[in-house]
A and B are shown apart, each in its own frame.
Chain A
Amino acid sequence: MTRITLGSAVLRGTVATALMASLMSTSALGAPPVDLSKWSPEYVRSIAGTQDFDTAADCAKVTPLDYKGRLTFWYQGVFEGDPDLLRQYYKEFFETFRKTYPNIQLEEQALTYNDLLDKFRTALLGNAAPMAVRLQILGGTEFASKGYLEPLKPEDVGYSTDDFWPGAMKAVTWEDVTYGIPTNNETMAFIWNADIFKRAGLDPDKPPATWDDVVKYSKQIHDKLGIAGYGLVARKNAGNTPYRFMPQLWAYGGGVFDEATANPTYKEVELNSPQSKAALQASYDMYVRDKSVPVSALTNQQADNQPLFLAGQLGMMISHPSDYDVMLDLQKKATGTDKDKAQTVIDNMRYGLIPTGPDGKRAVVFGGSNIHILKPEYVEGGKVDEPAAKAIICMWTSPEWSLKMAYAGSNPGNLNGFKTKWMKERLDNIEFLDVTTSMLPYGIPFPALPQSPEIMNIIVPDMLQNALTGAMTVDEAADDAAEKVKDLMGGL
């Protein structure tokens, strides 16, 4: 398998790191465990495996290991699009927790990304929430702003705020108070099938440099081979949609607000700016004009693109490094000639940086998840076992487990995770990890606003669907979405 040459991309990444460092800097940044200004795949390799951590001993300082209590806990768990490897680590985590804290009665419940918010909101209305919850990065400010969460900072479970990505800390901060701790943070990468590229007359080792190239390549693949070029995703109420469209929107210079700038104010709505419309136009061109993407994009999630890619019916997509493992898992389930076909696709799977916009801007969603403790009045039974909650939070956000729980597809929320021996092992085992590590400097967090879940899960996908179905023109769809955001922000 050919590894892509990162060369110039890494160089640009280093330059962009300076931008990221300013983007993510906080005044609290004293002596960070890793030097973000030096961020590159080489730097990550240099620090991997340089420090040992004893999770049980560290967490014993927060909650004694013989502590007796009870904890209800909901978390965004693994779903059909995740690799089996991740399932194993989740299983191992809860087994280890029970062994480490044998006297804590843990009642955990896994929910999928798309179901968690709805269920959690409903539970809160009935004062039936769990004591602790691990939410997607979008959810933190919504629940913090409404007063459902207890203040919680890394120091409360034995870590330092400097141990975490400053950008991730913004997502758990509301009106200068911290309400949670990041568990994992991620940036995705661009994936393509070199064999399809070759057969379509494209350079198999050269990904599209810009989003305009993505549109061109997608058309060329479709016209030459009759298959889908790019794996567009535009389903509503699915996290996959903003994670794939926002990088495109930002690369063109657009945005919902000014979230892609160094010091966002979230004052002006920019969804209908010429740059945002250009990004929407690119999706329109692929879906409507060229018909070069899956027709099912409007009802698809990334989990639907994965089998298409493995079947050699899709040329390019945006996803995690974990998709490589997912492909291996799916290939194991294939039979007969399908197995060989799948192997050919896996052998030709390439990862690269997400393309830039016309002005050279490269962007990716700085995603992830956070863990929180609820206020007692919103919890079933009206009581929160805080030591028990802190015990599980300490373990999950430890260097060891924040890395293991993000092993295949993400990055540890706790930056010390990069120094562990498991990171070193991971760099050897997980293909293409370097690429997503290189994308971290381009990461842009979603706006840290309570309205963000609605904007990202409903308004942005609606805009895409309105344009792609012809229900509205590109201009109308962008204007309509901008108006909806203004209305939303006009409330309290």
Chain B
Amino acid sequence: MTIVTGKAEARRRLQPGRSGVLRKIWEHRADYAYVLPAIAVMLIVIAYPIYYTIELSFFKTPPGLQLRDKIFIGFDNYTTILASRVFWKVTWNTLIWTLGSTFISFVLGFAAALALHRDFIGRGVLRAILIVPWVISAVAASYIWRWIYHSDFGIIGAVLVGLGLADRPPNFIDSVSTVLPSLIVVNIWREFPFAMIMMMAGLQTVPEQLLSAAKVDGASAWQRFWHVTFPHLRNVSTVTILLLAVANFNSFIIPWIMTGGGPSNASHIWITHIYELAFGRQLWGVASAYSVLLFLILMTLGYFYVRALSGNERKEGTA
């Protein structure tokens, strides 16, 4: 039999229900107090802009009026977007851009990480060199690549013509069919070092004794990779891919500086299109509706990212 003192009973009564979220919050009240200032700041700089963007997406903002004189039009901006030919073109471009950049950056980064995981002379130097594209400014890189690709006097064109491999410089960024793949190449060049670093970190966690044991058991290099290394990297791979996908979905600098979304909208992706709608054409309402849709997509990706991270933590917790 438990003897309940008056003090303990009073404490119990002060506490909310024994089960549920409130009880948990109460139990962690000190923790919440510590993060309260950060939450307050986030509410101001994140929550309010999100709310305002959602609100603005229901209004029309004609070029002859100030934003404060906006006109309520309900869901018209959303229906306008979905009925627009450009929307589908830009969405298709965004998918190609995101999937192409993410997948190839990951594969190249993973391959580079595997190669650099082994010990060899000059490994440190090579690591440093391969990280360079990731650390230099995206703006500077975009301008440099614009000149490399230049359709009349770019470096690649000059080399190809000089070697007699082409009659005239190839058209990389002034053609609707080649511009997007050309920009994806630049993006991959800039991003694969990130994937490489992530995967190199992941490779450090693969237990050496397991690989040795597999080797003793007669497993080939491929079998060791597939059955030992790769399963250990599943979570870090998921996180890396999700981070790359979110970054690519939100990517702005490379396509905007190199082509401004052109020619003929062939390299417009969502984020550059939103920028043009808002700041070039002042269609704040339409741009906001686009942003809301983009936000929902990114939140979905974010959900999977958090789930992948939580899965990681759970596994580590049970290990």
Contact = CB atoms under 8 A, between A and B. Distances in A.
Given A234-B263, A451-B63, 12 more contacts: A121-B279, A146-B64, A236-B260, A298-B262, A299-B151, A299-B173, A308-B153, A450-B63, A454-B63, A458-B276, A469-B176, A491-B60
Interface residues of B, number: 34
Contacts of B67: 125
A407 B266 CA distance: 40
Interface in A128-160: 142, 145-148
Given A121-B279, A146-B64, A297-B174, A469 B264 contact: yes
A235 B260 contact: yes
Contacts of A295: 151-152, 168-169, 171, 174
A116 to B, nearest CB: 12
A228 interface: yes
Nearest to A228: B152
A237 B264 CA distance: 12
Nearest to B147: A304
Interface residues of A, number: 39
B62 A118 contact: no
B10 interface: no
B317 interface: no
Interface in A462-480: 462, 465-466, 468-472
Given A125-B67, A458-B276, A296 B266 contact: no
B66 interface: yes
B146 interface: yes
18 contacts: A121-B279, A234-B263, A237-B260, A295-B152, A296-B150, A296-B152, A299-B174, A299-B263, A450-B64, A458-B280, A462-B265, A465-B262, A465-B264, A469-B266, A470-B176, A472-B264, A492-B64, A492-B65
A433 to B, nearest CB: 30
A109 interface: no
A457 interface: yes
Query: Among A147, A298, A313, A470, which residue has the most Cβ atoms of chain B within 10 A?
Result: A298
A122 interface: yes
A488 interface: yes
Given A450-B63, A491-B60, A491-B63, A313 B152 contact: yes
B193 interface: no
A32 B10 CA distance: 93
A450 B266 CA distance: 28
A296 B151 contact: yes
B281 A236 contact: no
Contacts of B109: none
Interface string A217-236: 00000000000100000111
Interface in A435-453: 450-451
Contact of A299 (B60, B63, B65, B259): B259
B276 A146 contact: no
A262 to B, nearest CB: 25
A471 B151 CA distance: 19
B250 interface: no
A294 interface: yes
Contact of A294 (B71, B151, B264): B151
Contacts of A299: 146, 151, 173-174, 258-260, 262-263
Contacts of B259: 299
Given A145-B64, A488-B63, A491-B64, A454 B281 contact: yes
Contacts of B93: none
A403 B150 CA distance: 37
A492 B152 contact: no
Given A145-B64, A295-B171, A457 B280 contact: yes
B260 A454 contact: no
Interface string A304-325: 0000100101000000000000
Given A299-B174, A454-B280, A313 B169 contact: no
Contact of A236 (B152, B168, B261): B261
A173 B107 CA distance: 59
B63 A236 contact: no
A462 B273 CA distance: 13
B53 interface: no
A471 B71 CA distance: 34
A245 B265 CA distance: 20
A148 B67 CA distance: 11
A294 B169 CA distance: 11
A229 to B, nearest CB: 13
Given A122-B279, A295-B174, A491-B64, A471 B264 contact: yes
B235 interface: no
Nearest to B281: A454
A469 B175 contact: yes
Nearest to A143: B66
Nearest to B170: A295
Nearest to B65: A492
Contacts of B281: 454, 458
Interface in B253-293: 258-266, 276, 279-282
Contacts of A471: 176, 263-266
Contacts of A311: 153
Contacts of B261: 236
A402 B260 CA distance: 33
Contact of A146 (B65, B152, B176, B258): B65
B151 A118 contact: no
Contact of B280 (A118, A234, A492): A118
A257 to B, nearest CB: 16
Given A235-B262, A298-B263, A142 B63 contact: yes
